[in-house]
Structure 1
Amino acid sequence: MSENTINEDLNNEISENQETASENMVTEKSEVEILKEELQKEKDQYLRLFAEFDNFKKRTSKERFDIFKTANAEVISALIPVLDDFERGMKEIEKSENNELFTGIQLIHNKLNETLRAKGLKPVEVNAGDDFDTDKHEAITQIPAPTEDLKGKIVDVVETGYALNDKIIRFAKVVIGQ
């Protein structure tokens, strides 16, 4: 074998090795790119799943709070007639001469009021002469206005209205002047 033939064989072998090496590098690059794409895809799925879970926690927390408020509203709404009866009873006991009885009932009434107030119950302030507001009042009847300035306004409050956490749960029942 001649030296040229050996050189040509070596050059061919080197070229083939370089081509094989470059093909392997291309294959490795494409594998790296594929792995990067898969990693990015997994990261994206993870972030979406994390965001979905965070939204689930917030929604569940809000639902629990709403259920608590609703359950509270039902119990307090059931206690409002008891509060009304207490007030009527206190008016009658006040007419009697028994001051000790009146003081005892007044203490119980105040405790019930404070407990309900602590749970968010507030009476809706309504006075004779106020404008009639359908968002807070329920007109049960209309009577001729005693004075000209009471036309279309509240003449008398028959039953107190109540709001629970700024939401009306019982409208004030009022009489309106015509």
Structure 2
Amino acid sequence: MTRKSSKEKGKEQPENKEQELESMQTEQASNQEDVVSEEDPIEEETVEEEQEDEERASDDADEACEDQVSLLKKQLVDLNDKHLRLVAEYDNYRKRTLKEKMELTKIAGERIFVNILPVIDDFERAIQHLGSASDLDSVKGGIDLIYNKFVNYLSQQGVKAIDTSNQDFDADVHEAITKIPAPSEEMKGKVIDCLEKGYLLDDKVIRFPKVVVGE
């Protein structure tokens, strides 16, 4: 067998090393391709799952929005019904209150007139006896009784005459018909005479007294 020289051996070693490096690089590239080929399906599955999750989340959000819209519509209908019922109830209450007020006013007016009727009866009896009465004092006394009876009834209802005697003129209470020279210095600006009585109903003027004022 022929032995190789040391020079030939020296040449073969670098060539073997280059071959080994190329072989290692080829193997690494192959391994990387295998890894990539193995990882690609996993990545694709992950992307698909993420897309499915996003679509599912979007569908859930849409469904939640639809549920919220339906709930708000139902609440709006309920509120509208309540509003209509309240309006109807208030209208019925207003009509009922107005009717009751009119009935109370009618009853109050009826009671007043019923209580006035006895006074009218007294006047009719007095008129009947005027023709045959011989004592004028008794007739006058009867009329005074009727008058006092009527005044007392008005007082019970809160009606009373306004006192104007020697009172200072007050435009909120008195109605000045005319002015005349005051008979004295103290009577200036005061009521000299009352031509027509005024009346109060529970401290409210229902008729102003017509007065003459001194100046």
Query: What TM-score do the two structures reach when normalised by structure 1?
Result: 0.57
**Residue in 2 that maps onto 1:176:** 213
- Cα 1:33/1:124, change in 2 over 3 Å: farther
**Residue in 1 that maps onto 2:146:** 108
1:154 to 171, 191, 195: 191
Q: Which ranges in structure 1 are unaligned for 5 or more consecutive residues? A: 87-95
**Residue in 1 that maps onto 2:25:** none
Q: Which ranges in structure 2 are unaligned for 5 or more consecutive residues? A: 1-39, 124-135
Q: State the Cα RMSD in Å.
A: 4.8
Which structure is richer in relative contact order (CA contacts within 8 A, separation 6 or more)? 1
Structure 2 counterparts to residues 1-178 of structure 1, below 5 A: 12=48, 16=52, 18-19=53-54, 21-38=56-73, 39=75, 42-43=78-79, 46-47=82-83, 50=86, 54=90, 57=93, 61=97, 65=101, 68=105, 96-98=136-138, 102=141, 104-128=142-166, 130-178=167-215
1:133-160 CA distances to partner (integer Å, 9 max, x unpaired)?
1221112232221211101211122221
- Cα 1:149/1:110, change in 2 over 3 Å: same
Q: State the percentage of identical aligned residues.
A: 33
1:6-56 CA distances to partner (integer Å, 9 max, x unpaired)?
xx779947953x455433422232123223433157437735873796488
The structure where helix makes up a greater share of residues is 2
Question: 1:59 Cα deviation (Å)?
Answer: 9.0
The structure where strand makes up a greater share of residues is 1
The one-letter code matched in structure 1 to 2:187 is L
- Cα 1:65/1:118, change in 2 over 3 Å: farther
What SS does the aligned partner of 1:97 have? helix
Question: 1:161 Cα deviation (Å)?
Answer: 0.3
**Higher alpha-carbon Rg:** 2
Aligned residue pairs: how many? 155
Q: Distance in 1 between matches of 2:48 and 2:62?
A: 22
1:40-99 CA distances to partner (integer Å, 9 max, x unpaired)?
574377358737964884698479759949x96xx99xx9xx9xxx9xxxxxxxxx4217
What SS does the aligned partner of 2:137 have? coil
Query: What TM-score do the two structures reach when normalised by structure 2?
Result: 0.49
